[in-house]
Amino acid sequence: MRKNMSHPKNFYRHLYPQFISSLLSVFFLVQGYSVRAAEYAMPLTVDTGFIDREDELVQAETSFDKPVANFTLVRKTENGEEVVPFWFIPAEQHQGKLCFVIPGKTLSMTQIEYELRFADGEWAQTPFGDASVGERVRKETNIFPQGDFEEETDATGKKGGCWQGDRFPKGWERLWDYAYCYRNLPDLASLCRLDSDVFYSGKNSLKLVGVLGKNEKGEQEKITGFCEAEDIVLKPETCYKLTYYLKIIERVDNGERAQAVSISLNFHDKDKNKLHPKNYGLNRLQCAYSTGSHKQEDYLNKWVKVEYTKTTPPETAYGKVTIGMGLTGTAYVDDVVVRELRSAQPVTVETGKPVRF
């Protein structure tokens, strides 16, 4: 097994980083800045396995026992250590995904040593780090880039009928504030709109509002916004994972059993027609979050990650993402990701227990 790491060669070299860190801390304090140095170091060992790698993207699941911040990733080398650009995607309960790139060619059966350094602090609620690494993560792991709602297109021609918005997300086909059958009802408050006030990452999300109204017969109806994206290319008999982040800030019990936000990847044939239109169990990958299956404190005013996987039927050539909800209230959706689950084995990452740095 090859090793790619370094060790202190003498006592003074071992103390040198600590000496420099102390000098910098004193300097910043004298200048009136408040600086918190790294307090802990988590060792990470990357193993390339039986495959030669080139510019390999590493994604390591990490877990902490308390809120931490001020991350720095370093790679151990024969000449000491070097700072490594990274992208960190936080999750609940002080867990998250650490992403970085091993530059150049790396032979199989090679181990590379890293340290993730951090301090006690406020746990981040949104991804952070080097933007170029973040872009690599998004491109390599997502075949549905319009799911971040960041890019907009001209809304001219989109407005009217059942949608009255002014901003339209690029890569989406149609947005509805309400279904066509409700168009004549007065004072409709349901919505499907781009929003820049609440988001998981970037600067935009999709806002959905559902209300209770009465139809022309005076019967109570659940009225919500919904939308559908442009078709994307899919492969037949291939496993895909659909992931998104959901934040519900208001929920009113509408008396129905299915009170959920749902995103579906509908499977289409080569002519972009829906496969098996009457067989919902076969013709789509449905990824729903039902409020009836979770405690309110688990989702209200929190970003929740939702995901599901499914293998496409043999006739599949395209797919269409749709977003809707059977929920009465207000919800935000962001970072909708569709990715192919490849059979190639990724590098493995072994994380050690954090120690005082």
Domain parsing of the chain, residue ranges = 2-140, 145-340
CATH architecture, domain defined by 145-340: Sandwich (2.60)
Structural tokens at position 63: 């877990």
Q: Look at the chain and count its residues.
A: 357
In a structure prediction context, what are the per-residue pLDDT tens digits for the chain, which is 357 residues long?
Answer: 555 544 444 444 444 545 544 554 444 334 333 345 679 999 999 999 998 998 999 999 999 999 999 999 999 988 899 999 999 999 888 999 999 999 999 999 999 999 999 999 999 989 999 999 998 887 777 899 899 999 999 888 787 779 999 999 999 999 999 999 888 888 889 999 999 999 999 999 999 999 988 777 778 888 999 999 999 999 999 999 999 999 999 998 888 777 899 999 999 999 999 998 888 888 999 999 999 889 999 999 999 999 999 999 999 999 999 999 999 999 999 999 999 887 667 899 999 998 987
First to last CA, the chain: 28
Rounded CA gap, 195 and 190, in Å? 14
Rounded CA gap, 35 and 74, in Å? 19
Quote the pLDDT of residue 151. Answer: 95
pTM: 0.63
The answer to whether the beta carbons of residues 283 and 274 sit under 8 Å apart is yes
